[in-house]
Every structure is written in C-alpha cells, then in structure tokens.
Structure 1
Amino acid sequence: MLASGASFVGVNGLVRWLGTDLPAPQAAFLRFGFGLLFLLPSVWQGVRRGVTPGTLPLYAGRGAVHTVAVVLWFYAMARLPVAEVTAIGYLNPVLVTLGAVVFFGERLALRRVLAVGVAICGALIVLRPGLRELGSGQLAQLGAAFCFAGSYLFAKRLSQTEGAAMVVAMMSLFVTLGLLPLALLVWVPVTPVQLAALALVAVFATVAHYCMSRAFAVAPLTVTQPVTFLQLVWATLLGALVFGEGVDGFVLLGGGVIIGAISYITWREARLKRGVVTPAAGATGD
C-alpha cells in the first residue's frame, strides 16, 4: 500500500506538471491509450473468450461513467493543489457506501450513517463553502468523485460474474473508445515530452493498481485502508517542494477526518464479517 500510494502521487504530480497545455479529454485519452497497450493481452483474451451474456451493457455503462470521471479529474488536477485533489478524492469510498445502499439494497447501520456524516463534514472542511469561492476545479473534482463512485458500483456488479483482469481490461477498452471522440474535438499538437510524461502516468497507474491488488491479497482492509492517508501527506510534500504550493491546514484536517471515517467503516465491517465465520467462545477444543 505504501508503494501504491507513492505511485498514485506520481500520477498526480505528472498530470499537475503537464498543467493546462493539453485539453483534459486529450490528456486522458493519451493516458488510457498507453494503459490499453499494457493490457492488450488481457483484452485479446477477453475478446476471444467472449463476454458473459448480459454484461455488455454493464461494461458500456461503466466505460461511460468512468470516461466522464477521468476528464473531470484531469481538469481538476491541472488547476488545484495536489493535496486538495487527493483530499476530495477520499470521498469516493463514502459515495460507494451510499450507492451500495441505493442500488444494491445494503443495510446502512447507525454507526455507518454517523461515519458517513463525519466524512461529509471532513469534505466541508476541505471545501469551506461560504468561506471561499468554489472554483471550477473544486466542482470538477467533486463531480469526478461521484462518477468514480458510480464506476466502482458497476465494477462491484460485474465482479459477481467476471474475473478482475477482464473487468479492468474492458474498462480500459471502453474508456479509451469513449475518450477518443472527445479528444478529437479539442486536439492540439503534442510534444514528445508530453507523450513521454503521459506514458509514465500510465506506468505509475498500472504499478499503483497492481501493488494495491497485492496488498489486498495478503492483508486485511483494516490494515491497508489507514495507510492511504499517507497519500495526502506525500501529495502535500510534493505540492510544496516541487510546485511551490502552500500547505493548507484545512485540507490536511479535512482529509484526515474523511480517512478516519473510512477507516472506521472498514474496521467495523471487518469485525462483522469475522463474527460470522469465527466460532463462538468454547465452540472449539484445544
């Protein structure tokens, strides 16, 4: 998870460094185009094997939502401090929790309701509406958080019948196809340096997701989830040392509140799952 977080910060830093010279749809298309090259073997295997009946609309729906999400994220990343984008992005799992209640009928216990409320308070600390003007960057990142949450809900539904490699490969394929017409509408000349930077973004993103998958395979979420808070620390250091961005105490405080609420939800759900599979005291012998 440490390596995953560092890789995600590398993604953020490179996109922040690219700035606004490339339109967001074009930059996102090039990033996903390079990522699709890495996943071509998985895509080819999926095409040869064929998709499960009834899943194609789900793949297409996820691709559409994720396409909007990455365009909004690229737009926000080029205009906001790295730490602020990272902090607002912590809302994703909170929104996924609420979406699971709405779309999958999952029960929302009182403790989870309170934790979600605390996380929303954390987001308000970061955004500070009424105390400062919310610009297009903040609004874009909020929109990205909602859209990424929608993408994860599609992925959760697909994971019931599809393998993880297939889900990731098909997402990359549909997002690349979805970004292509948007990129062509705003296309500007690209320099070799910009292409190299976006290829490196794709490398960092691939490494980040691989490391996260490995962490989830060998450690419980109660261990891995709190480590994601370090992304905010690294993002703050990156913004301050590389881009000369000021350290915003409200962003750090709000991000900490959000990740604390997420960690509590994760810990609570892990305890409930253990309660189902762990024998009662005295039920087993020595």
Structure 2
Amino acid sequence: MIHSKPGLGASAPSLSSNPPPRQVGDRQGLAILLICFVSMVFAVQDAVSRHLGAAYSPIFVTMVRYWFFGIFVIAMAARGPGGLRAASRSHHPLLQIIRGLLLVFEIVIMIVAFVKLGLIGTHAVFAAYPLLVVALSGPVLGERIGWRRWAAVAAGFAGILIILQPGVGVFSPWAILPLISALMFAIYGLLTRMVSARDSAEVSFFWTGIAGVVGITAVGLWHMEPITRADWPWMAALCVTGTLGHYLLIRAYSLAEASSLQPFSYLQLVWVSVIGVLMLDERLAPNVAVGMAIVVGAGLFTWWRTVQKARTASPPR
C-alpha cells in the first residue's frame, strides 16, 4: 500500500458545491490517474529501499531520505497560507510528535522486512493495515463496528495465515515485521483521525515530516556510513521518488475525496509484484497470491461498508 503518506485524506479540500458535471469528472479522473502513478512511484521507492537497506543500515537509509523529505515539508509549509508559523501551530503537539515518530520508525521496520522477506511477501502482509484500523477503531475511537466488517477483518487475517503458512515448513521469524509495521501504521492512521478534528491537513503534514526528521536523526547519527559512488544515484532516486510521490499524493487529494481514491492505492501491490518478479528475482507463490487476494478483498469490503455507513449517517442535502 501507499504506506508513507501523511494522512491528508481526512482534511483534504473538498470539491465546490455545484461544479459543472464535466469538471467533476475531469478532476476525479485526473485524481485517479495520479493515485495510480503514485502507487508505481512508491513501489519503485520500496525497491530502491530494499537495495540500499541490504547494503547500509535501514536507519541510515531512512535518515537520508527524511532529510530530503524534511526540506520538502518546510518548502511546502512556507508556501502555504500563513507560512511556517501557521503550519506549526497544532492543538495536539504531543499526538503529532507521536504520529511522526511512529511513521518514520515504521518505515525503518519495512525496509528491514524488504531485505529479509522481499517486496512481495512484505506488502502481502502489510496490506492488512486497513483491517487493523477497523479492528482498533472500536476500542480507540469508540466507533461501532458491525458484524459484517468484523467478518471481513476475520477473513483478512485468514488470508494472512494463508500467506505466512505457520506450521508448514520452517516459519520465518522475520514474518512478524510487516505485521508490526502494519500495526504501527494503523495506529498512525487512527492518531491522524484524532488530530484532524482540530488540526488541518497542512499542520499534520508539517508535523509528520519535522517530528520524523528529528526522531530519525537523533538515532541515525549513530549509524552514519560512507556511501559508495555507485550508490549515490540510488540514494538520489530514493529521495526523489519519496518527494515526488508525496507531492503527487497531495495533488490527488486536492482534486477528489480520499474515500473515492483509496481502492486504487491497492495497485501498489500489482507494481510491487511486477518489480519483485521481473527485477528482483522474487517469486509470487500461489499461497501468497491467494492470501493477498483475500486480504485485499476484505480491505475493499471494509472500505465499502465504511463509505456506505458514512453516507447513511450524512444528513440529506
């Protein structure tokens, strides 16, 4: 999934009240195209992360990536209304810091998983994070989760068991990493929803980048390594794909509602599988393909039920 986005969907600008039908279609279509392209960009970023993570400390790789990302975040905030002062003014600074730290260290864990399990295996398990969001929404946010969505969560975790095949052969202890990463990202998503009640998307985006930069630098300075000349282009590609992906993601959410774009983010699984098989000599095992299909299907069903409930709860216009 597009797992490093800063959670802009909750507060993304909405469309005008009564735009011409063709304008809506054009904006929606462009947003969908952008999300599809972003999913490819992030898949390439993950492949580059896997390459660099095998040669350098994943903490160091993430730190360099975040330095570049931090510059991008500051530049975006400076261009926005009110500049840096407005972007940094949060009603939930502690929660914002926790969000930023959760995301940056979730990325570190994902890079380790890429190296140990490969792109395909890691993303197949990580795809369950929307189901974890649903499962945690009840105890954390006090939301009522119906039996249909609980059934989808159960089906999704059955899909994970099919992917991991515990008890069949030798179970890799590294398989727990994408599950931990998915849990961290789910908590990050829930915290994003909590702070969005009073903080704008721009504020959350700023704090995500700055808290992440500070947190990873405090740890990463102890993992500094010289980068070989051959790997400088790969490091540059990592920074560019990360920044480009986030910029296009922001553009997509400015054109259409996040709920209408969420299903298309699953295309990252397709791109990851293509890159893994054709470029990284990974294998898409039958059990992984079946389990991935179940997890994605369960995720799409929970998304659909959430959208339906939101529409039912919305007052008629």
State the TM-score bracket (shorter-chain normalisation): 0.7 to 0.9
TM-score, normalised to structure 2's length?
0.80
Q: What is the aligned partner in structure 1 of residue 115 from structure 2?
A: 78
Distance in 2 (CA, whole Å) between partners of 1:80 and 1:29 is 22
Q: What is the aligned partner in structure 2 of residue 36 from structure 1?
A: 70
- Contact 2:88 2:207 survives alignment (8 Å): no
Q: What is the aligned partner in structure 2 of residue 183 from structure 1?
A: 220
Using a 3 Å threshold, how does the CA distance of structure 1 residues 153 and 195 change in structure 2: closer, same or farther?
farther
For the pair 1:12 / 2:49, whether they are aligned, the reply is no
Residue aligned with 1:101, SS: helix
Equivalent position amino acid for 1:114 in 2: A
Q: What is the aligned partner in structure 1 of residue 21 from structure 2?
A: none
Distance in 2 (CA, whole Å) between partners of 1:96 and 1:38 is 28
Distance in 1 (CA, whole Å) between partners of 2:257 and 2:83 is 30
Gaps of 5+ in 1: none
Gaps of 5+ in 2: 1-34
Q: What is the aligned partner in structure 1 of residue 10 from structure 2?
A: none
Aligned residues: 280
- Contact 1:34 1:199 survives alignment (8 Å): no
1:223 CA drift (Å): 5.2
Moved more, 63-72 or 233-242: 63-72
Using a 3 Å threshold, how does the CA distance of structure 1 residues 250 and 272 change in structure 2: closer, same or farther?
same
Distance in 1 (CA, whole Å) between partners of 2:97 and 2:262 is 29
1:77 CA drift (Å): 1.4
Q: What is the aligned partner in structure 1 of residue 304 from structure 2?
A: 267
Distance in 2 (CA, whole Å) between partners of 1:214 and 1:49 is 20
- Contact 1:13 1:238 survives alignment (8 Å): yes
Residue aligned with 2:116, SS: coil
- Contact 1:46 1:166 survives alignment (8 Å): no
Instruction: Specify which of 168, 173, 178 is matched with residue 141 of structure 1.
Output: 178
Instruction: Specify which of 281, 295, 298 is matched with residue 258 of structure 1.
Output: 295
Distance in 2 (CA, whole Å) between partners of 1:65 and 1:72 is 11
Distance in 2 (CA, whole Å) between partners of 1:231 and 1:142 is 18
Q: What is the aligned partner in structure 1 of residue 61 from structure 2?
A: 27
Cα deviations across residues 25-74 of structure 1 (Å, max 9, x unaligned)? Answer: 11111111111111222455664237446411111211232232121111
- Percent identity between the aligned chains? 25
Distance in 2 (CA, whole Å) between partners of 1:116 and 1:217 is 30
Residue aligned with 1:261, SS: helix
Using a 3 Å threshold, how does the CA distance of structure 1 residues 151 and 198 change in structure 2: closer, same or farther?
farther
1:208 CA drift (Å): 2.9
Distance in 1 (CA, whole Å) between partners of 2:259 and 2:77 is 33
Residue aligned with 1:79, SS: helix
Distance in 1 (CA, whole Å) between partners of 2:58 and 2:229 is 18
Cα deviations across residues 143-177 of structure 1 (Å, max 9, x unaligned)? Answer: 11111111111211121111212211211111111
Q: What is the aligned partner in structure 1 of residue 237 from structure 2?
A: 200
For the pair 1:172 / 2:206, whether they are aligned, the reply is no
For the pair 1:2 / 2:39, whether they are aligned, the reply is no
Equivalent position amino acid for 1:207 in 2: L
Distance in 2 (CA, whole Å) between partners of 1:277 and 1:54 is 26
